[in-house]
């Protein structure tokens, strides 16, 4: 029993750390080596038809690893069967590429049969794949991607789409993926040059209710926390697992302790520190010029209306207490990881644990966004 409540469609996930797909590398043997403690392991990418298998062979000829499987569906079934031999494996996703619909639908039905997630690869940049319209070209063809998602989703599979940020408008892409019916988006939030594009995670969080897997350059607890603080529900790692086979185990331990200590493992950063709109729950009474006003303008709400809303939604909860805090109640107080002896003294005085405080803030955040989105 973990302190997390995470699922993608029917797939229950025990913690928010995932192994990301690596063609020719990420199979169940690799999971045994690096990802047995993960919440999710994305296997693949697997090539489902002749065109993608031929492209994969050409990629292999220039020295890059790929999975080439003449009978892809039978092969995937045998991989999924092997799960039965493993003790306590992570949830599984299959990252797949195909030029044809039929093999995608077969893979979706197979994934569903084994309680696995199907992940459509709209990410691959290898020229042999992009030249046959597979991978990243899907991002530039929203109608084809949406049609693929809605047809695959009709099988009832739990469906994720792997994307790369900065290729097209990230917000519009995420909305299109959600409207087509996908359950989750797995964003390689790469920044051209170097680093991680947390903005892509944040705009997706603010615009959709998709389950978000944040990916790119997660190597330790700090980089994972930055992804969570911008709205990711889960983080995934690829290259870091090649460099350090214990990195997933270490991250799972850290995030589990963090969840036990704070009650909200992916609590947002404050809005003035670049956090997503969930952080309105931690905002002060909006009396000074600061970053909140841009957010309130976006929702078409005045500072007074926002203040009234927060008070209304906190009515009858312990957040109404706290005379000795900056603004007279915990409604306006910062998140637990921001050290504050005034707030902590109130929490101690009223007998509210830090975890309970954060759970109240999480509920407040959900209620605020529900009302603002309906505004
Ligand atoms: C060797 C290698 C193979 C990859 N193959 C795939 C793939 O088949 N499908 C896919 O969606 N992403 C693939 N990726 C991308 C990774 O899943 C991930 O998005 C990317 O490496 C950035 O994450 P990282 O910084 O944790 O490595 C591959 C990455 C590497 C390094
Ligand atoms: S209201 Fe407070 S917490 Fe929110 S953005 Fe402004 S200064 Fe930051
Ligand atoms: S009392 Fe502390 S936690 Fe509350 S608003 Fe002031 S600084 Fe933030």
Local confidence band at 375 (pLDDT 50, 70, 90 cut-offs): low
Rounded to an integer, the average pLDDT of 281-294 is 95
* Cα 4 to ligand 2 centroid, rounded to whole Å: 28
Average pLDDT over all residues of the chain = 96
Please work out, in degrees rounded to the nearest 5, the angle formed at the alpha carbon of residue 64 by the alpha carbons of 60 and 65. 80
Q: What ligand has the least distance to the C-alpha of 42?
A: 1
Q: Where in the chain is the domain with CATH 3.20.20.70?
A: 6-262
Burial per residue of 13-46, b for 16 or more beta-carbon CB atoms within 10 angstroms, e otherwise: bbbbbbbbbbbbbbbbebbeebbbbbbbbbbbbb
pLDDT at 192: 80
* CA of 327 relative to ligand 2 center, distance in Å: 12
pLDDT tens-place string over residues 205-250: 999 999 999 999 999 999 999 999 999 999 999 999 999 999 999 9
Ligand lying nearest the CA atom of residue 272: 2
Classify 12 as helix, strand or coil: strand
For 28-60, write each residue's pLDDT tens digit.
999 999 999 999 999 999 999 999 999 999 999
- SS3 sequence of 258-282: HHHHHCCCCCCCCHHHCCCHHHHHH
* Confidence at 3, pLDDT banded by 50, 70, 90: confident
Q: What does each C-alpha distance from 307 to 272, 281, 292, 311, 364 come to in angstroms?
A: 17, 11, 12, 6, 13
What tens digit of pLDDT does each residue of 156-204 get?
999 999 999 999 999 999 999 999 999 999 999 998 887 899 999 999 9
Is the distance from CB of 115 to CB of 11 less than 8 angstroms?
yes
> pLDDT (tens digit, 9 = 90+) per residue, 91-113?
999 999 999 999 999 999 999 99
In Å, how far are 46, 140, 148, 296 from 204, measured between CA atoms?
27, 17, 20, 18
Q: Residue 333's pLDDT is what? A: 98
Query: Residue 47: is it exposed, middle or buried by C-beta count within 10 angstroms (0-12/13-18/19+)?
Result: buried
What is the pTM for the complete model shown? Answer: 0.97
Taking the C-alpha atoms of residue 102 and residue 152, their distance in angstroms, rounded to an integer, is 10
CA of 51 to the centre of ligand 2 (A): 53
SS3 content of the chain, % helix, strand, coil (to 5): 50, 15, 35
Give the per-residue pLDDT at 2.
60
pLDDT value at 70 more than 90: no
pLDDT at 374: 85
| CA of residue 329 to ligand 3 center, whole Å | 9
Helix (H/G/I), strand (E/B), else coil: 123: coil
Domain 6-262 sits in CATH at 3.20.20.70
What is the predicted pLDDT for the residue at 59?
Answer: 97
Q: Is the CB of 215 under 6 A from ligand 1?
A: yes
Q: Is the CB of residue 205 less than 8 Å from the CB of residue 183?
A: no
Task: Place 25 in a pLDDT band, splitting at 50, 70 and 90.
Answer: very high
Considering every ligand atom shown, identify the ligand nearest to the alpha carbon of residue 52 and give its number.
1
Ligand 2 atom with minimal separation from the 280 CA: 4
Paired tokens of 102: 């039929």
d(CA 212, CA 34): 22
Q: Whose CA is nearest to atom 1 of ligand 3?
A: 325
Q: Ligand 3 — pocket residues by CB below 6 A?
A: 284, 325-326, 332-334, 340, 342-343
Cβ atoms < 10 Å from Cβ of 235: 26
């Amino acid at each position: 029993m973990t302190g997390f409540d995470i699922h993608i469609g029917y797939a229950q996930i025990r913690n928010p750390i995932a192994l990301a797909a690596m063609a020719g590398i990420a199979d169940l043997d690799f999971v045994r080596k690096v990802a047995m403690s993960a919440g999710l392991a994305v296997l693949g990418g697997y090539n489902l038809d002749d065109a993608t298998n031929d492209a994969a062979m050409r990629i292999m000829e220039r020295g890059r690893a790929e999975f080439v499987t003449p009978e892809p569906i039978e092969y995937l079934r045998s991989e999924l069967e092997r799960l039965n031999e493993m003790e306590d494996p992570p949830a599984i996703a299959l990252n797949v590429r195909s030029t044809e619909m039929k093999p995608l639908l077969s893979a979706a039905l197979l994934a569903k049969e084994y309680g696995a997630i199907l992940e459509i690869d709209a990410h691959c940049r290898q020229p042999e794949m992009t030249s046959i319209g597979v991978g990243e070209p899907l991002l530039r063809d929203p109608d084809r991607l949406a049609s693929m998602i809605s047809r695959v989703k009709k099988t009832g599979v739990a469906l994720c789409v792997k994307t790369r940020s900065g290729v097209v408008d990230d917000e519009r892409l995420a909305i299109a993926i959600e409207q087509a019916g996908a359950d989750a988006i797995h964003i390689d939030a790469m920044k051209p040059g170097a680093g991680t594009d947390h903005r892509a995670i944040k705009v997706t969080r603010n615009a959709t209710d998709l389950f978000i897997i944040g990916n790119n350059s997660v190597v330790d607890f700090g980089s994972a926390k930055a992804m969570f603080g911008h709205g990711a529900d889960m983080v995934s790692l690829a290259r870091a697992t090649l460099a350090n086979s214990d990195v997933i185990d270490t991250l799972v331990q850290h995030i589990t302790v963090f969840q036990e200590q704070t009650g909200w493992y992916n609590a947002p950063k404050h809005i003035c520190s670049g956090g997503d709109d969930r952080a309105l729950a931690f905002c002060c009474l909006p009396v000074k010029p600061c970053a909140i006003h841009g957010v309130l303008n976006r929702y078409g709400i005045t500072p007074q209306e926002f203040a009234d809303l927060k008070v209304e939604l906190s009515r009858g909860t312990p957040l109404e207490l706290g005379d000795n805090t900056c603004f007279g109640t915990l409604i306006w107080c910062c998140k637990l990881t921001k050290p504050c002896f005034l707030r902590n003294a109130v929490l101690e005085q009223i007998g509210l644990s830090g975890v309970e405080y954060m759970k109240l803030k999480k509920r407040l955040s959900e209620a605020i966004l529900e009302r603002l989105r309906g505004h």
